[in-house]
Amino acid sequence: MKYRKYILKQALEQAKLKGISTHGEFLVLYHGTSTSNLKKIIESGKFNSGTFFAVDHKTAMKYAMGLGSKPVVTMAILYAGALFSTTEYWTTNEELFQRNGTYQPNDLINANLNTG
């Protein structure tokens, strides 16, 4: 993605301002959903484009409870260069795939596979 390094820099700066845990180029965020949807995430190994993530467990649970069916929260380690910040949430405009305990965009996974 053409602007990935710029997005990464901006996301990491926002995370620092908001006190969000980071691991290198990754953010630790929370996703509130239903147990049936979490099963789909685990089985597919990805978060879909447009998925929202909260900065804390409490906010994610509040969202999940609004879904009305067996709410659950999962913590995710997400590549910051694929995330955009809003006031309370972060979101992605592309699919993020599970790889080595983190979620990353496909182009990043492919680049890492090709470099070793």
pLDDT tens for 53-110 read 999 999 999 999 987 779 999 999 999 999 999 878 999 999 999 999 999 999 888 8
In angstroms, the CA 45 to CA 15 distance is 25
Residue 9: strand, helix, or coil: helix
Total domains in the chain come to 1
Task: Note the pTM of the prediction, 2 decimals.
Answer: 0.90
In angstroms, the CA 37 to CA 39 distance is 5
Per-residue b or e along 25-43, where b marks 16 or more CB atoms closer than 10 Å to that residue's CB: bbbebbbbbeeebbeebee
Which structural domain range is residue 20 located in? 4-114
Checking if the pLDDT of 48 tops 70, the result is yes
Residue 7 is classified by DSSP as: H
